[in-house]
Structure formats: C-alpha cells, structure tokens
Structure 1
Amino acid sequence: MQYQTAFGKISVNAPSLDVLERRVRRSFAAGKGFALATINLDHLVKMQHDAAFYESYAKHDLVVADGNPIVWTAKLAKQPVDLLPGSDLVLPLCEWAAAEGKSVALLGSTEDALSAAANDLVARVPGLEIACMIAPPFGFDPNSHDAAEILRQVEASGAGLCFLALGAPKQEVLASRGVEFAPSVGFASIGAGLDFLAGTQTRAPKWVRSLAIEWVWRLALNPKRLWKRYFDSAMIMPRLVLQALKLRGDDGSQHGARAPR
C-alpha cells in the first residue's frame, strides 16, 4: 500500500508478520542492518510539512502498518496489510534475534524503564542477550554529533537489533542515520513499546484494541497533549480515502520505501 505525502510516496512494504520475519531474519543472517518504521496517521500528518522527517522515513528498509486507519485504507485500495503496531513487534523481534544469535540494544526512555524492560524481555525470550541500554538526556537531538556517537556505541556493543523508544520523528531520524554509523544493526522504532513492558506507561486493554478505539483510551488519559494530534489525523482521512480509491484495482506494486538491504 502506497501513501502520497507532500514530499513523495511512502509504502507499507512489509504487509504481514510473516513477510517481516523473513526479511528481518534474512538481514540478521547476513549481518546487515536495517531500519524498520511503523507508519500511522500521525506520521503522515508530520510528513505533510516536515521534509526532513519524510527523507528519514524514505530511507527505511521496512515499513509496516501501525493503526487501523492504515489497515482500512489499504483494504479499500485492495492492497491489504496486517495491523503491526510497534509495541506488538517487540517480542517477535526479540525472538527472531535470539534465534539468529543476535543481541539487543535498548535506546530511549529512562534508565529505570530500560532496566525494567530488559528484565522483562530476558524473562520472556529464552536465550536473549541485552548488549547495551542507553537513555539519552532530555532534549536529545538525533541529528547531533552526540547522536552519531551513540550509534557508534550501539555498533560497538555487538548488538544486531536496537529498539528506539524516542517517539516520532526523533526515532525515525536516528534510525535513518544508523545506515552510516551502525551498518550492522537493525533499528526498530517502537515508540512507547519499552515503557509498556516496564510498566511506566499503561497500554489500552485488549478489548479496547479489539474494538479499534485505542485512540479513545489514549485521548482520555492525556486530552491536552493528544487532542490536536487526533484532530489533525482525522482531517487527512478524506484525502487518504481518495488515494485508496485511486489505487483500487492496481496490481499492488510497492514504491517509495527502500527494499531491504
């Protein structure tokens, strides 16, 4: 499924968990890095006015659907994709890493949250090793020299996979720089995924997610911060529906995000 932004096109090029697993494990086996992004409406809104964010996203090797509106519009275009939120990918990615003998790095959030998340992951995934944990300071700039040094530190740790829990657009910008500074590491941007594991943030219950109203749960918990995000997201839905209708009947070819290295 392909989405037109103000600066170019972005595609969901890993439409299912099976496809994602094959591509990620192939990268692990080859010792090559990758960048994985989870696209949602908020990201598409940001890419309407932030060229740097779009350029970072376009450098990603893998893009999955994070959000029911992405799944719905893909279905409307007859190019179906599975719902694969970043938070739901943390455990599968760790399992694939452990199976391929790759250790994992955790980057973002706070030291306490990273430590709690690491303990939870090691307990859940047999054979998983945590290579390093890095909690950048407040105001961290993913384009800075310090960010480049952090990426080099991740590379030097020997990690084959690094979870980025910095929020958009910081995590996607940092992941795109990993190609240069940590070419053997796979970077996965997972937002609050580590905080959910650590218990420092509470995710919506499964029944809420099953009804596709997780956004209502989040908005109720933090209305002042999130109301404009969801308003802006709602405003772009008509355009996405029109895009999907134009794509309807196409052969499903994907463009706009790089093929996995």
Structure 2
Amino acid sequence: MDPFTERQVVAWVAAALDQGRGGHIITPNIDICRAVSKDPALGKLVAAAEVVVADGMPLVWASRLLGTPVPERVTGADLIWSLSAMAATAGRPVYLLGGPPGVAAKAAGELAGRCPGLEVCGVDAPPYGFEEDARELGRVRARLVAAGPSVVFVGLGFPRQDRLIAALRADLPRAWFVGCGSAIAFAAGAVPRAPVWMRRVGAEWLFRLASEPGRLARRYLVDDVPFAIRLLARSLLVRR
C-alpha cells in the first residue's frame, strides 16, 4: 500500500498528467486482499499498478498494528469526485466505463453538476462478460480511444476492471485509469452510500450489508469478516 492521503493521490495524478505519464490506481479492500491471498496472479496485477491505496479501515488498522501506518482510507467512491474536480480545474476530460445501463450517464450528469467545467468525454455500459467477446471488446476499446480521456473510471469490480485496464493501458499511455468498483453507481445515486460517520469508524460495510443483504451477506459475513479478523490478529502478532 502507498502511504498516500486522498489529496496526495490527486496531486500525484495531476503531476503525472502534466508530465505526460499515465498510470493505474487500485484501491484494495478486504475482499480484494482475500482474493489476492489465494491467487498469485492477482497479486501481480495489483503490484503492477502505479498507485495502490487502502480502501478499507481494517487495512488502515492492520498497517498501524504493523508499525507501518498508511495515513487514511482512500476509496474509489471518493476519488471519483476528487479526481473529477482536479480534471475540471485542469481542463482534462474524463470517461466513465461500467455500471448498469443508464447509470454511467446519470453519474456523468452528477459529476458535471458538482464539478463546474468538467468534460465527460464519454460513457459506456457494456454488457456483462463483454471482455470475453473480441468484437465487443474491440468496440469498447475503439470508443475509449476515440474519446481520448485523461482519466478513465472503470467500475466493473475487481479483478475484471483491473484486468481490463491492464489490457487497455497501451492504447492510452498518457491516461490514468482508476479501478473504482461501485463508485459510478454511488455517484449516480443508484446505490446509497453510508453516512460519513459510518465510513470513518469502519462500519460502511454494515450499511451496505443492510442495503443489499442478498448480494453481500455471504461475501461479508462468511468470507471477509473472518479474513479481516485473521489479518488484524496476525498483524498484532508480527508487531509483537
């Protein structure tokens, strides 16, 4: 994990864009870390990103227990706003890729409304599994390259979004790609986000579980919570 605040991530991206350098941002949470722990290929995918910041308070707590603290939680759901604000100020276009039909377009309107001067140069909501179809992937690639964005938010969930980013980066070497999960849906208001106080104390997952129990119950309660407990326990033992 890079020890960056959200503000430092934005400054890093802005400086890189000014220098003509692109990159890839990944924001691992507990679920991503659990997946990486089981699959070395996913570990290499994460390690190849230019910026990797902790999206999850258990990761922040674990870093503190280990004596190598990261300063704060940095989420894709927050970066979509702060990076868009930077892009608006700098006159750099952004692109939204992912989400259900209509959601990316709604998110584009919300972002433009809150970031005066922002140019959303394109939105795309390809069907599930499009990356396995050479023709559909070619269409997505062609639309993205033609739009020529400086920042691309890809909301397909890990690892699909980050594998896609790895495949597309060579086509836009000066652009920054952000694997942002549900951030596009959050920005559109299609999915409610937890109150700020719940995010700060590490309880956002409880809000999301209550909002989407059918989809998230197994992931959170069976997979992620036990992994988080083991991670924190091991971090404490290693520190001692």
TM-score normalised by structure 1 residue count = 0.82
- The aligned residue for residue 55 of structure 2 is 66
Classify 1:212/1:122 alpha carbon distance in 2 versus 1 (closer, same or farther; 3 Å).
same
Q: What is the aligned counterpart of 2:225 among 231, 234, 238?
A: 234
Q: What is the aligned counterpart of 2:126 among 136, 140, 144?
A: 136
Q: What is the aligned counterpart of 1:178 among 155, 168, 191?
A: 168
More displaced, 164-173 or 176-185? Answer: 176-185
Give the percent of matched residue pairs that are identical in Structure 1 and Structure 2: 33
Q: Gapped runs of 5+ residues in structure 2?
A: none
Map of 1:52-91 to 2, 5 A cutoff? 52-81=41-70, 82-91=72-81
Number of aligned residues = 238
More displaced, 204-213 or 116-125? Answer: 204-213
CA drift of 1:143 comes to 8.7
Partner SS for 1:201: coil
Q: Could you tell me how far apart the structure 2 residues matched to 1:185 and 1:149 are?
A: 19
Map of 1:177-196 to 2, 5 A cutoff? 177-196=167-186
Q: Could you tell me how far apart the structure 2 residues matched to 1:32 and 1:138 are?
A: 30
- The aligned residue for residue 155 of structure 1 is 145
Q: Deviations over 1:204-243 (max 9, x none)?
A: 2223323421111111222232222122122223442355
- The aligned residue for residue 103 of structure 2 is 113
Q: Could you tell me how far apart the structure 2 residues matched to 1:123 and 1:225 are?
A: 31
Q: What is the aligned counterpart of 2:190 among 190, 200, 216?
A: 200
* Contact residue 164 and residue 188 of structure 1 kept, 8 A: yes
CA drift of 1:192 comes to 1.2
Q: Deviations over 1:169-200 (max 9, x none)?
A: 11111122233232121101111111112121
- The aligned residue for residue 20 of structure 1 is 9
Q: Could you tell me how far apart the structure 2 residues matched to 1:142 and 1:44 are?
A: 25
Q: Could you tell me how far apart the structure 2 residues matched to 1:216 and 1:16 are?
A: 24
Partner SS for 1:162: strand
* Contact residue 178 and residue 187 of structure 1 kept, 8 A: no
Partner SS for 1:107: strand
Partner SS for 1:65: coil
Classify 1:133/1:90 alpha carbon distance in 2 versus 1 (closer, same or farther; 3 Å).
same
- The aligned residue for residue 24 of structure 2 is 35
Structure possessing the higher relative contact order (Cα contacts under 8 Å, 6 or more residues apart): 1
Q: Could you tell me how far apart the structure 1 residues matched to 2:124 and 2:73 are?
A: 29
Q: Gapped runs of 5+ residues in structure 1?
A: 1-11, 250-261
CA drift of 1:248 comes to 4.3
* Contact residue 148 and residue 172 of structure 2 kept, 8 A: no
Q: What is the aligned counterpart of 1:168 among 158, 161, 178?
A: 158
Partner SS for 1:133: strand
TM-score normalised by structure 2 residue count = 0.89
Q: Could you tell me how far apart the structure 2 residues matched to 1:149 and 1:248 are?
A: 50
- The aligned residue for residue 117 of structure 2 is 127
Classify 1:55/1:219 alpha carbon distance in 2 versus 1 (closer, same or farther; 3 Å).
same
Q: Could you tell me how far apart the structure 2 residues matched to 1:153 and 1:33 are?
A: 19
Partner SS for 2:27: strand
Partner SS for 1:79: coil
Higher helix content, 1 or 2? 2
* Contact residue 39 and residue 65 of structure 1 kept, 8 A: yes
* Contact residue 143 and residue 174 of structure 1 kept, 8 A: no
Q: Could you tell me how far apart the structure 1 residues matched to 2:132 and 2:90 are?
A: 29
Counterpart amino acid of residue 181 in structure 1: D
